[in-house]
Structure 1
Amino acid sequence: MELNEAINLRTSVRYFMEEPVSDGEIRALIEAAIRAPTASGLENWLFVVFKSDEAREKIYELIGEGMEEYYRAVNLPEEKIKKLRGRIFEGGMFRAPAYIAVFINRDVRFLKGKEFDDVEFLWSAESAALAIENLMLKAVELGLGTVYIGVTNFRGIEEKVRELAGLGEEWALVGVIPVGRPRGEVKPRKRKKSVDEVLRFV
């Protein structure tokens, strides 16, 4: 598969088949991920894979909690939130055979001093985001679907994901990536804005 094909086929997949994702496929995803650029060469990322039935169920519930928090943040009425939660769980939205949580270690940094806290964290998060994109493009090549979950970063939920991963407070969650074989036809969506609308030469 050519890179351009993988880029154009990549899309957010929210419904997955029950078929397991093999350890070999997971390793291939992580091998692609860690080829991404990493600020100051720190490689201060960690990829925690939740594959056991118990761990997957807990992550799935936490995603549901995060979605509710998101809906409240955009001021949806509770009755509508209840219906949306029912749709998520009854339809199996985001239920996947594997979840990859991507963390960065706040304590591993290049520049010392509190004045660099914000930029060091930004660089680390950017590095992890680049790794996630590599992972997602490799998934396309392997016939797997992925979707980026950011709602697990809400306060109170991130801590539970970190605890489930067995990590200390120095680890910050960047996102959770459900991984599996897509259920149904995958249709990449067109972008709302054209290249000309988002491109500027100076």
Structure 2
Amino acid sequence: MKLDDAIFGRASVRYFEEEDVPDEHVRALIEAAVRAPTASGLENWKFVVFRSKDAREKLYSLIAEGMIRYYRAVNLAEEKIEKLRKRMYERGMYRAPVYVAVFIDRRVRFLPGEDFDELEFIWSVESAAMAIQNLMLKAVELGLGTVYIGVTNFPGIEEEVRELAGLDENHYLVGIIPVGYPRMEVKPRRRRKALDDVLVFI
């Protein structure tokens, strides 16, 4: 597969088959992830794979709670939120055979002193985000679907995900990536903005 095929063929997948993802595929995803650039060469990321049924169910309930809080935050009508809840619990939206939670360890840093706390944090999140993109592109090559979940960062929810992952408060959750075989045909959407709307030459 050419790189262009992975980049332009990738799309967010929200419905997955129940079929298991082989261990070698999961390892291949993480191997691709850790080839991403990392600020100061720190590699201060942690990838926690949720595969057991019990762990996945607990994580799924936290994702659902985050989705509801997200839509309430933007004042979505309660009847629409109820439809979302049905899509999740009756149709299995975001229910996947594998979840990869991506964390950074905020203790691992290069620049000393509080003056650089925010900058070090931003660099670490950027590093993890690039790793996530590598993971998602590798998934396309392997015939897998992924989607980025950020709503688990709401206060209270993130702490529960971290506890479920067995990590301490020094770890920050960058995102959760459901992984599985797409239940439906993957159809990448066109971007709302044209290239010339976001590109500037100086």
Normalised TM-score (structure 1): 0.98
* Cross-structure match for 1:153: 153
Deviations 1:79-129 (A, max 9, x none): 332232122211100000000000000000001111101000000000000
1:16-56 superposed Cα distances (whole Å, 9 cap, x missing partner): 00000111100000000000000000000000000000001
Runs of 5+ unmatched residues, structure 2: none
Matching residue of 2:167: 167
Number of matched pairs? 202
- Please, which moves more after superposition, 84-93 or 138-147? 84-93
- For 1:25, give the aligned amino acid: H
User: What's the counterpart of residue 200 of structure 1?
Assistant: 200
**Other-structure match for 2:102:** 102
CA RMSD of aligned residues (A): 0.7
Cα distance in 2 for residues equivalent to 1:182 and 1:142: 12
* Identity over aligned pairs, percent: 71
1:8 aligns with 2:8: yes
CA distance in 1, matches of 2:105, 2:65: 25
Residue 73, structure 1, aligned to residue 68, structure 2: no
Structure 2 length-normalised TM: 0.98
Runs of 4 or more above 6 Å deviation: none
What is the CA–CA distance in structure 1 between the aligned matches of 2:147 and 2:80, rounded to whole Å? 24
Task: Give the corresponding residue for 1:121.
Answer: 121
Unaligned runs of 5+ in 1: none
Aligned partners of 1:4 and 1:104: how far apart in 2? 29
- Once residues 87 and 128 of structure 1 are traced to their aligned partners in structure 2, the CA distance between those partners, rounded to angstroms, is 29
1:6 aligned counterpart, secondary structure? helix
1:91 match: secondary structure: coil
Q: How does 1:15-164 map to 2 (within 5 A)?
A: 15-164=15-164
